[in-house]
Homo-oligomer: A and B are copies of this chain.
Amino acid sequence: MHILVLGAAGMVGRKLSERLLRDGRLGRRDITHLTLHDVVAPAKPEKAGFPVDVVSGDFAVPGAAEKLIAGRPDVIFHLAAIVSGEAELDFDKGYRINLDGTRMLLDAIRVISGYKPRLVFTSSIAVYGAPFPEAIGDEFFHTPLLSYGTQKAIGELLLADYSRRGFLEGIGIRLPTICIRPGLPNKAASGFFSNILREPLAGKEAILPVSEDVRHWHATPRSAVGFLLRAGTMDLAAVGARRNLTMPGLSATVGEQIAALKRVAGDNVAARIKREPDPFIMSIVDGWPRNFEAKRARQLGFTTEEKTFDDIVRIHIEDELGGKFVS
């Protein structure tokens, strides 16, 4: 089978690509061809048991989607997006990539007679906007408070309608915030949820800009890849018309995150967290979802690798640090 990954240079896209290369198969079918796309060229894998194309370019210009699907990929993982902060700062760019780009892809597929690929769309919990119930249920409405969440919510609606009309096999998954996000600290307002764990484990200081009672919704990169693989292979008849699902995760306060870090890595490591309250970040985080039920996704077989926040810390040490950290 031929697989196309859009947004393959991003963190989740990279992890997914590595996993596909390692497995050589998706579900029961062997991978015969893999196309990796991003606005900057994803790294070309050194060894692969099948042809791998690496493509770069803007996927939201006329004709780009047609070229990307010219090889008729059987499964498309659509992870390409302008992130929330940038989509908020650059209105036109966010709508162009996140909305128009997605729609161009759907339309390019639609007009090809007899072509009906599996399309896995990564949505976001940013489709929800405060105020929230204690735990957000699967039937709670979408009132995003960011343009990014608006664009993702629109993508979900299009995906469901194009699926209903038989143009493609769409499935949308709302990923929790990925924790622990590997790599360098980034400027995303949500960055601190990972920074306060990753940096201390690497022997560095990290800034905590909010209070310890802030609650959020997390999953490991390993779980995120697992969700994508399941979405790429599952029987969609069981999903029915409601094609967009909140993925399972762990709801934890910052205090619970730090307690897990202490248990797994010791007090010395946790002492590298510096508390510097930032009213701007606090005000943004206030509007974010804290907890979900995610019943449907669990019933449909989506599971997290981690059962506790301690597991989240351990999985990072295992997958990213070769089993070692700076104690």
What is A's interface to B at a CB cutoff of 8 Å? 91, 129, 138-145, 147, 150, 153-154, 157-158, 160-161, 164-165, 241-242
**Which of chain B's residues have a CB closer than 8 A to the CB of A150?**
157-158, 160-161
Copies in the complex: 2
- Most chain B CB within a 10 A radius of its CB, from A154, A160, A161: A161
When chains A and B are docked, how far (Å) is the Cα of A129 from the Cα of B139?
11
Supposing A150-B158, A150-B160, A157-B150 touch, asked if A242 and B165 sit within 8 A by C-beta, the answer is no
When chains A and B are docked, how far (Å) is the Cα of A157 from the Cα of B157?
10
Question: Cβ of B157 and Cβ of A142 under 8 Å apart?
Answer: yes
**Which of chain B's residues have a CB closer than 8 A to the CB of A129?**
241-242
When chains A and B are docked, how far (Å) is the Cα of A157 from the Cα of B161?
16
Q: List 19 A-B contacts (CB under 8 A).
A: A138-B141, A139-B140, A139-B141, A140-B141, A143-B241, A144-B157, A144-B160, A144-B161, A145-B164, A145-B241, A147-B161, A147-B165, A150-B157, A150-B158, A150-B160, A153-B157, A154-B157, A154-B158, A157-B157
Query: Known contacts A139-B140, A143-B241; can you find 9 more A-B pairs with CB under 8 A?
Result: A141-B141, A141-B142, A143-B160, A144-B161, A145-B164, A150-B157, A150-B158, A150-B160, A157-B157
- Most chain B CB within a 10 A radius of its CB, from A140, A143, A153, A164: A143
**Which of chain B's residues have a CB closer than 8 A to the CB of A165?**
91, 147
When chains A and B are docked, how far (Å) is the Cα of A157 from the Cα of B138?
19
**Which of chain B's residues have a CB closer than 8 A to the CB of A242?**
129, 143
Q: A313 to nearest B CB, angstroms?
A: 34
Q: A213 to nearest B CB, angstroms?
A: 24
When chains A and B are docked, how far (Å) is the Cα of A145 from the Cα of B157?
10
CB-based nearest B residue for A148: B161
When chains A and B are docked, how far (Å) is the Cα of A203 from the Cα of B236?
51
Q: A85 to nearest B CB, angstroms?
A: 15
